Structures are given as C-alpha cells and as structure tokens.
Structure 1
Amino acid sequence: MTAVEPQLPVDDALEVGTTATTAVKGRSRVPWRFLGGRAAFYLFTLWAAITINFFLPRLMRGDAVDQYLARNRTVTPEAADALRALLGLDTDKSLWQQYLDYWALLLRGDLGISLLHGLRPVTEVIGQALPWTVGLVGFATIVSFAIGTVGGAIVGWRRGSRAEVLIPITTFLSTIPYFWLGLLAIALFSVNLGWFPIGKAYGVGISPEFSIEFIGQVIHHGTLPAVTIIIASLGGWMLGMRNMMLTVLDEDYITVAQAKGMPNRRVLWRYAARNAVLPQIQSFALSIGFIVGGTIVMEMVFSYPGVGKLLLDATNAKDYALMQGVFLVITLSVLVANILADVAYAFLDPRTRQTEA
C-alpha cells in the first residue's frame, strides 16, 4: 500500500488573497533602509520649506516697517531703524547672515515678534489663533471624511440603487465656490431665519473662559461654518470611496467570500471597504495637515479668528516674522500628517510592510 502523506493545513483563501489581511510570516526584520530613506526625505523637505519660507517674503517689495510707517507717520527715522534691527530687517547684515541668524533663532524656538500685533511674540499670536482653526476646520474635516467614506462605501456596495443619487448631489455642492456657499448660508440661516449669528467665534461682551455659556457661544457661532465646510468637501470623499468600491467589488476574493455564504455586512466592511479605503488615507492625511492652515475664505466670510485670517493679515502687512511662523507651523503639520499616513497605510496594507521588510 502506498503511504498516505499527511495533509498540510491549507490557509483560507480569503485570509491569504486579500490585500488587507495578508500576513507576513516568520520573523520580520526592521526595515532600516526604508526608515532611513523616509527620514532623509522628510528632513530635506523640512530644510527646503524653511529656506523658501525665509527667502520668499523678502522678494516682496517693502517690509513690515514700511507698512507701519505708512500708518503711523509720527515715527522718527531713528525709531524706524531700531524697529528694522529688532525685526532682523536691517540692511547692515547680508541676506546670508540674516538666514543664519534665522536658523539660530529657530533652533531656540524663537519665531520673532509681530509688528502687526504690537511687538508680541509670534508664538503667542499663533498660539491664540491655532485652537480656533484646529477646532473648527479639524472637526469639519474629520466629520466630512467619515460621512463621505462610509456613505461612499454603502453607495458603491449598492450600485444601481436609488442611493447613487447622492453622488451627483454631493458632487454638485462641492463644485460651488466656497465663499458663495458661505454667503448663501449666511443670507438664509443668519439674515432671514436668524438661527445662527453672522460671524465671529463668540458673542460680543463674552470673555473667553471655560464655562457653559462660553462653550455654548462657540458651538453656536461655529455650527454654520462647520456645516458649510462639511457640505463643500463631502462630495470628493464620497465619490472617491464609491469609485474604489466599484473596483474592489470585482476582485476574486469578494466573489469567494460571497460564495462561501458570508454575511454581506462582513464582506462589505471586513474585505471590500477595508481595501477600498487605502487610497483615501493619503488624501485624508494631507487634509489633516492643511487643517492648521485653515480655510482662509471661510475665515474671511465668517470673520472667524483663525490661522487663515491671521496669515492673510500678515501678508497684507508684510509682517515677515508672522508670515514665516504661520508657514512653518503649516509645513510641520503637513509633514507630521504624511508620516502618520505612512504608518497608517503600512498598518492597513500588510503588503507595504512586506515590501519594506
């Protein structure tokens, strides 16, 4: 008789064949080459951004002192020279020396002082505006991403159903210029109906403090701009997720899962949506990074005291230190967001870990 060879355990085709569940067996080694390459890339990007951040404002005509003198003609020439020396704009130093001094101050955490805000430190000025932008734009971005991704997955799963009418509606709303959408929202809900205030972050006469009244004022004033941001950005997330779902649903492992009788909910969220969401991660990371920059148009329409409006005011006043500080914060936020996106992508897609290892 022929000896029967023992049967080796066969892995489930679904667990092996999907992009999101393929496991790297064996002892994985640390991908030092990949980590070193990514670290070098991000460090070079940071250096380039800071260098451009320094030289670009100085290519503009005039400076912050000239703008200040135009508004205050009683300032003496000696005081103007002292202001230029204080801001690092004195012509006694070469541009290269100013660049080196800028790096020295930057490494010490000194972003300079803002002439536009009464010689206050730039870190203090940005620190006051940053929570408003992160709280409003960050909340709206996360909500729009979550609703758009989940909605796009459901619409893609139920292709050909009535739910697909959401795609042209949300896409149409996303094509409307944001300032126009914001003005329409103000005219309808603030002027005509009186449900929400026209602008500002809180009411007149209310002092910022941790109290129920102040929190209620912030929520009341921030609801309309937040909803406007969600409506304006929802179409892109939903359309992108729906298109990726249509691609993933044609894969073999989805057919195998359905043939094995798996519940539709498990196939949808465990296999289809988990793979379809991967391309959305990078876009979401960029959106998270640009949250710090805020939405300048939104903050101008609703008179919201965020970083976007702060950057616009600094640009008009040619306040170099404040412009550089805001650009630096935006750059760092984008880089950190991309790093987190790389980590999240590698976690969600084991093929990335296998290739890097």
Structure 2
Amino acid sequence: MIFLLRRIAFYLFTAWAAITINFFLPRMMKGDPISAYLQKNQGKISPDAIESLTTLFGLDSDRSLWEQYIDYWQLLFSGDLGRSFSRGLAPVTDVIASALPWTVGLVGIATILSFLIGTSIGAYIGWRRGSRADLVVPFATFFSTVPYFWMGLIAIAVFSSALGWFPASHAYGKGTRPGFTPEFIGEVIAHGTLPALTIVVASLGGWILGMRNMMVTVLDEDYVTVAQAKGLKPRRVLVNYAARNAMLPQLSSFALSLGFIVAGTIVMELVFSYPGVGKLLLDATTAKDYPLMQGLFLVITLTVLVANILADIAYAALDPRTRQMEA
C-alpha cells in the first residue's frame, strides 16, 4: 500500500505538470488559432463571429492568464477539449475518438505481438547461448535498423503490387460502409495485416536482443545454479527462474511502448494512408490546429502515465524487492 500511494502521488504530480505545460505551450508559440483560422477564411468571418471564436478558444483578452488556466481545468473536468477549426469546428474529443480506435487496434495488437514473440525468442536464444540460435539476433537486428518507410514501401511492392495478397492502403475498401458486419471486419483485418506485420518485423530485433542479453546475465546468478543443482526440469528453470527475472527490465520498455501506442506510428500511417492518431497529429500540426494538437498531446501524455503506473504495479508484483525498497 505504501508503494502504491507513493507511486500514485508521483504520477498525479507528473500529470499536473504535463497538463500545465500543455496549457502554456501553445500560448508561447507564435500566432494563435484565431489568426490561423481567419487566414483560411478571409472575408468570410464577421467581427461578432471573431469575438465568439476568441471566447470559444479561451483567448479572451478580458480574462487574465490565471483565469484562462482555471477555465482550462474546468473544461478538462467536464470533458471538453475545445473545438478543432481544421475539422469544421467539430469537438476535439469527437475528432480524436474517431481516429483512436484505428491506432489502438492496429498498433496495439502489433506492439503486444512483437513484445511476446521477441521476448520468447530472446529468452530461448539466451538459454541456448553459444548455439546456432544466436544467428537469429543479427538478422532481427538488421530489420530493426532498416528505415521504416523503406520497409513499408518494399512490403507494398512485394505483397500488394506483385503478389496481390494484401491491400496497399487505407483501413477498408472505398465505398464500404463501416459497421459490425463480417464483410467490414474482414476488410479491416485484410487492410491492417500488412502494416501490422511491418511493425512487428521492425520492432522484433530490439525485444530479442534486450531479452537475450538479460538472460545471459541472469543465467550466471546463484539462484539459477541452485535451481539446476536441485534437478529441476530445464523448462521450469527457464520460465520460473531465468526468464521471469530477465523480463523485468523489458516491462519498463513495454510500458513506454504501450503508452506511445496512442501516438501511433506516423510513418506507418503515412505510408499505408491509415486513418490513425499519428496522421491526425501531423495534419493538425500542418494546419496549426492548436486545440486539436493540445488535445492529442494531452491524451498521449495521460496514456503514457497510465501505462507506466501499470508497469510499476506489474514490476512490484514480480519483484518483491521493489516493494521493500519503497517501504
């Protein structure tokens, strides 16, 4: 309980700092959303409408910066992240909600698969260190060093253009009506398979190499030697003694990866024209849509914090020494 309370207090302070920075940062940038919106709609906005937009975006000059800060917190607690002027003044929450499931569904599944597969392969290679299994490491590392956009273009050229196995772009076919139907779900899976495979292949090397190196270190520990001396089955020593302890540092990296799932893979979404959060963030930056950028940064930050909280809890559950040190 002491461990949990201290970690929660730390992350609450971090969340407050991140939200505060998220409030002040756009106001420190050159220009403002009202000026950018007026440049796109020259001669189409009346003075009364400009005044209404100024109030809507929380940039009313009659209110001090502190009052705007308080208003910002009140809007956050009410679930209002403002209006996106690049999306027809649609609520930012609705814009993010429309793109979030695509990114979480694709990048999330791909990240979890790459972690599970890479960690399992790395544990086996570390257990069989010095054998032919070590040859997997340079191959996997090579694919991790290849620029992702190049790997994505090669995948499209081979598996889409040449072989015709998978669609080349978008989340589903043109003219298809979204819905929970077998046809639509099949199209989503078909369009998402190729970008998901490229994400898995590109990230496998890091998980394999990290787990393999930790296994080599853990196998020299005394408790592994004692377990082997007791005559325990090699599989039990591998899973319960070696891999369980070697996987602890991997959890922190995995938590960060889970947190940044919401940010999406911008390059992947550009290469495959996938309608995710990464592409939405790039479009918002290009259009200088500050409310949408602010909302996206906030969602990404809070997601990373939640992922780290879950990683700390899992770390403490697997390693009792962490709880004892905090206590």
Calculate the TM-score normalised by the size of structure 1.
Answer: 0.87
Of residues 67, 78, 81, the one that matches 2:36 is 67
> Deviation at 1:40?
2.3
Tell me if structure 1 keeps the 8 A contact 2:81–2:93. Answer: yes
Q: 1:76 to 1:323 in 2, by over 3 A?
A: same
> Deviation at 1:176?
1.2
- Counterpart in the other structure of 1:200: 170
- Counterpart in the other structure of 1:45: 14
> Deviation at 1:158?
0.5
Alpha-carbon separation, structure 1, partners of 2:201 and 2:315: 27
Query: SS at 1:159's partner residue?
Result: coil
- Counterpart in the other structure of 1:27: none
Of residues 260, 270, 277, the one that matches 1:300 is 270
Alpha-carbon separation, structure 1, partners of 2:29 and 2:288: 8
Tell me if structure 1 keeps the 8 A contact 2:38–2:45. Answer: no
Deviations 1:5-33 (A, max 9, x none): xxxxxxxxxxxxxxxxxxxxxxxxx42xx
Tell me if structure 1 keeps the 8 A contact 2:110–2:200. Answer: yes
Higher helix share: 2
Alpha-carbon separation, structure 2, partners of 1:130 and 1:337: 16
| Aligned residue identity for 1:40 | A
- Counterpart in the other structure of 1:26: none
- Counterpart in the other structure of 2:125: 155
- Counterpart in the other structure of 2:302: 332
1:104 paired with 2:89, answer no
Moved more, 204-213 or 92-101: 92-101
Query: SS at 1:269's partner residue?
Result: helix
> Deviation at 1:77?
4.5
Calculate the TM-score normalised by the size of structure 2.
Answer: 0.95
Runs of 4+ that moved beyond 6 A: none
Query: SS at 1:116's partner residue?
Result: helix
Query: SS at 1:261's partner residue?
Result: coil
Percent identity, aligned pairs only? 71
Deviations 1:39-97 (A, max 9, x none): 22111111111111112122222233333333333413513343232222343433333
Alpha-carbon separation, structure 2, partners of 1:208 and 1:351: 50
Query: SS at 1:195's partner residue?
Result: coil
- Counterpart in the other structure of 1:319: 289
Mapping of residues 1-357 of structure 1, within 5 Å: 30-31=1-2, 34-78=3-47, 79-357=49-327
Deviations 1:220-251 (A, max 9, x none): 10011100110111100000000000001111
Tell me if structure 2 keeps the 8 A contact 1:199–1:303. Answer: yes
Q: 1:74 to 1:193 in 2, by over 3 A?
A: farther
Tell me if structure 2 keeps the 8 A contact 1:62–1:318. Answer: no
Deviations 1:100-144 (A, max 9, x none): 211121122111111111111111111111100100000000000
Query: SS at 2:86's partner residue?
Result: coil
> Deviation at 1:324?
1.3
Question: Looking at CA atoms only, which structure, 1 or 2, has the larger radius of gyration?
Answer: 1
| Aligned residue identity for 1:49 | A
In structure 1, runs of 5+ residues without a counterpart are 1-29
In structure 2, runs of 5+ residues without a counterpart are none
Alpha-carbon separation, structure 2, partners of 1:281 and 1:57: 33
Deviations 1:301-357 (A, max 9, x none): 111111111111111222222111111111111111111111101111122233334
- Counterpart in the other structure of 1:12: none
Alpha-carbon separation, structure 2, partners of 1:35 and 1:301: 42
Alpha-carbon separation, structure 2, partners of 1:55 and 1:184: 42
Alpha-carbon separation, structure 2, partners of 1:213 and 1:45: 44
Alpha-carbon separation, structure 2, partners of 1:195 and 1:91: 57
Tell me the matched-pair count: 326
